[in-house]
């Protein structure tokens, strides 16, 4: 099945979208990876169907769908990512959403809406760094790094500093070594960017 | 499906206080409540004296019996004690290695490995008596005569240098999972890279269960050269992330992070983890 899904995904044909989404619910990690790759390659074309089909009952499938939306980065997914990053009971869903919030393609939003949307993402990601599961906190740190890099291109840098301070807190206070390490790495990356400004 | 501890908590429904959990464990009317309380105390790492006492007492429970004659409460109590880091649980757990319930012996061996007390080594070694020839399956049961995986892994965790020659033959046990456990222990006891590589090769197995268990072994061993192969194997991202966390944190401890800077190796593993989120 993995090979068949791989071939279908490689066609990059919009008509394959419903089938690829169905594969996300088959509980076959190899096939799901191939289906996500296919959906991500289709990009924006896959977004409406993914948003519509988000399976409320199968959290395995939902995690893969959120992952696909996160990798595509289309801001039409913003609301669902905000909602799931902090409110979903499944940690694999919160994890995928938290990363996605940091890597949205903000240029696709009307310029008047960008600032407000970024503030919402920032709030959700800061909350994500307090999640009980280490892997969600890890993903929130990755998301914060992505958001900081995006914000850096805009004139307002106040939020950039807020993110640096939050990452500093994570380095000092998180009880998972992996999360501390990721926050440290994010701070190094952001310091490099800030100094080249 | 991705494993999810959070869901397990919710699925069990009720939330408990420590006092209720201890009381539930001590009452005798409802075996279901006792069983759940034992799990709960381990899950939430409750180390207060009366909780640990009640768990140790539950290791001798006679009232909760499974249809196969086993002791469900003893199994859960042993698992919980493995999470609590209390050295006074070591002797009672060693006793459990003689229990006629296979799953009690398995939970006790795992707990003893986690507690890290070398006192357990002779009793664990005893269970390897007869070597590979004696390590056959029990008729009509889905398991071998002893919980060899748990025993070998515990001996590895406990740094049982004296056990190396008893463990080595299990590298060629007919069951692949037992071979993996032996390779993991041999790597921990000898530091010989070839044992790590054996497990890395397992990540190419067609069987998903085998790939998963090799991945978890490599993570538990903190085997840095396995980072890329783990990221590339066909399995759930959730399990890959846990395995990579194990690899990363072993390395970070070795280089004394956070006092020391992040090494290029650590950054390499972090980049792999980012891609799996």
Q: What is the pLDDT of residues B61-71, one digit of tens each?
A: 999 999 888 99
Give the residue ranges of DSSP H helices in B139-236.
Answer: 148-157, 164-167, 176-190, 193-202, 208-221, 227-232
Please tell me the distance in Å from B191's CA to the nearest CA on chain A. Answer: 23
Q: Look at residue B163 in the predicted model and tell me its pLDDT.
A: 95
The structure tokens 């891609």 sit at: B275
CB pair distance less than 8 Å for B258 and A184: yes
d(CA B103, CA A29): 30
Q: Which residue in the set B6, B258, B270 is minimally distant from A91, CB to CB?
A: B6
Q: Do A138 and B238 touch (CB under 8 A)?
A: no
Q: Residues near A157 by Cβ (< 8 Å), separated by ≥ 6? A: A151
CB A14 within 8 A of CB A47: no
Tell whether the model's pLDDT for residue B28 goes beyond 60. Answer: yes
Per-residue pLDDT at A195: 81
pLDDT band at A157 (very low <50, low <70, confident <90, very high): confident
Minimal C-alpha gap between A113 and chain B (Å) = 27
Distance from the B153 Cα atom to the nearest Cα atom in chain A, whole angstroms:
24
CA-based torsion, A152, A156, A161, A163: positive or negative:
negative
Of A163, A157, A115, the residue nearest A142 (C-alpha)? A163
Residue B4's pLDDT band, with cuts at 50, 70 and 90, is very low
Closest residue by Cα to residue A7 from A21, A25, A20: A20
- Rounded mean pLDDT of B263-274? 97
Q: Do B4 and A29 touch (CB under 8 A)?
A: no
pTM for the structure as a whole: 0.84
Do A59 and B2 make contact, defined as CB atoms within 8 angstroms? yes
| pLDDT at position A193 over 90 | no
Please state which of the ranges A3-12, A97-106, B115-124, B257-266 shows the lowest mean pLDDT: A3-12
Mean pLDDT of the region B51-65: 95
A160's CB contacts (< 8 A; 6+ apart) are A148, A151, A152, A190, A194
DSSP sequence for A15-84:
GGHHHHHHHTTS--HHHHHHHHHHHHHHGGGGHHHHHHH--SS-HHHHHHHHHHHHHHT-GGGHHHHHHH
Q: What's the confidence (pLDDT) of residue B272?
A: 98
Measure the CA–CA gap between B119 and B117, rounded to whole angstroms.
5
Q: What is the pLDDT of residues B237-255, one digit of tens each?
A: 999 999 999 999 999 999 9
Whether A33 and A23 have beta carbons less than 8 Å apart is answered as no
Share of chain B above pLDDT 70, in %: 95
Indicate yes or no: CB of B245 within 8 angstroms of CB of A176.
yes
Residues on A contacting B at a C-beta cutoff of 8 Å: 2, 27, 29-30, 33, 59-60, 63, 67, 70, 89-92, 95-96, 98-99, 132-135, 138-139, 142, 171, 176-178, 180-182, 184-185, 188
Interface test with B, best of A92, A137, A139 (most B CBs within 10 A): A92
| Listed residue (B49, B48, B13, B6) closest to B33, CA to CA | B13
pLDDT over 50 (residue B11): no
Q: Tell me if B2 and A138 make a contact (CB, 8 A cut-off).
A: no
Q: Which residues of chain B does A139 touch, with a Cβ-Cβ cutoff of 8 Å?
A: 277
The CA distance from B200 to B207, in Å, is 14
Give ipTM to 2 decimals. Answer: 0.90
> In which band, very low, low, confident or very high, does the pLDDT at A6 lie, cut at 50, 70 and 90?
confident
Is B6 in contact with A133 (Cβ distance < 8 A)?
yes
Beta-carbon-side half-sphere exposure of residue A84 (alpha carbons within 13 Å): 30
Q: What is the pLDDT of residue A52?
A: 86
Q: Mean of the pLDDT values across residues A40-52?
A: 92
User: Residue B1 pLDDT > 90, yes or no?
Assistant: no
Q: Do the Cβ atoms of A135 and B248 come within 8 Å?
A: no
What's the pLDDT at B16? Answer: 85
Yes or no, beta carbons of B248 and A177 under 8 Å apart: yes
By C-alpha distance, the chain A residue nearest B11 is A89
Helices (H) and strands (E) in chain B, counts: 17, 0
What rounded mean pLDDT belongs to chain B?
A: 92
DSSP state of B239: H
- Residues B77/B55, Cβ–Cβ less than 8 Å: yes
Please write the tens of the pLDDT for every residue from B166-196: 999 999 999 999 999 999 999 999 999 999 9
Q: How far apart are CA B182 and CA B227, in angstroms?
A: 21
- A32 or B12, which is more confident: A32
Out of A92, A138, A181, the one facing B2 most closely (by C-beta) is: A92
Contact predicate B25/B55, CB 8 Å = yes
B129 touches B97 (CB < 8 A): no
């Amino acid at each position: 099945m993995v090979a068949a899904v791989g071939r279908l995904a490689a066609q990059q044909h919009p008509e394959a979208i419903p089938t690829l989404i169905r594969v996300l619910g088959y509980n076959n990690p190899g096939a799901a990876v191939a289906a996500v790759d296919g959906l991500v390659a289709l990009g924006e074309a896959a977004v409406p169907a993914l948003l519509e089909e988000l399976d409320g009952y199968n959290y395995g499938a939902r995690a893969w769908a959120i992952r696909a939306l996160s990798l595509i980065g289309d801001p039409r997914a913003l609301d669902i990512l905000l909602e799931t990053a902090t409110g979903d009971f499944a940690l694999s869903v919160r994890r995928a959403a938290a990363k996605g919030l940091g890597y949205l393609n903000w240029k696709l939003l009307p310029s008047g809406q960008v600032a407000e949307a970024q503030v919402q993402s920032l709030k959700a990601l800061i909350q994500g760094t307090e999640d009980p599961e280490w892997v969600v906190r890890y993903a929130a740190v990755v998301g914060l790094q992505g958001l900081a890099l995006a914000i850096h291109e805009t004139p307002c840098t106040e939020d950039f500093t807020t993110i640096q301070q939050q990452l500093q807190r994570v380095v000092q206070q998180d009880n998972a070594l992996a999360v501390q390490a990721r926050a440290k790495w994010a701070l190094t990356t952001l310091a490099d960017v800030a100094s080249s400004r | 499906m991705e494993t999810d501890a959070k869901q397990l908590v919710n699925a069990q429904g009720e939330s408990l206080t420590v006092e209720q959990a201890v009381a539930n464990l001590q009452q005798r009317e409802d075996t279901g409540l006792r069983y759940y309380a034992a799990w709960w105390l381990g899950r939430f790492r409750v180390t207060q004296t009366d909780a640990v006492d009640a768990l140790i007492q539950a290791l001798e429970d006679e009232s909760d019996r499974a249809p196969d004659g086993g002791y469900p409460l003893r199994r859960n109590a042993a698992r919980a004690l493995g999470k609590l880091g209390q050295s006074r649980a070591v002797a009672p757990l060693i006793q459990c290695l003689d229990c006629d319930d296979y799953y009690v012996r398995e939970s006790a061996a795992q707990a003893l490995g986690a507690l890290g007390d070398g006192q357990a080594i002779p009793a664990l070694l005893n269970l390897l008596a007869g070597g590979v020839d004696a390590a056959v399956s029990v008729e009509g049961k889905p398991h071998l005569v002893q919980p060899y995986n748990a025993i070998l892994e515990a001996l590895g965790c406990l740094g049982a240098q004296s056990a190396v020659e008893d463990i080595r033959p299990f590298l060629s046990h007919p069951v692949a999972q037992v071979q993996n456990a032996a390779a993991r222990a041999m790597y921990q006891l000898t530091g010989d890279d070839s044992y790590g590589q054996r497990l890395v090769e397992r990540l190419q197995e067609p069987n998903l269960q085998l790939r998963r268990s090799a991945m978890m072994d490599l993570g538990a061993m903190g085997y840095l050269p396995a980072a890329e192969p783990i990221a590339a194997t066909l399995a759930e991202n959730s399990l890959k992330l846990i395995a990579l966390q194990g690899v990363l944190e072993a390395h970070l401890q070795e280089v004394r992070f956070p006092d020391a800077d992040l090494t290029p190796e650590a950054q390499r593993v972090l980049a792999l983890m980012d891609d799996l989120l």
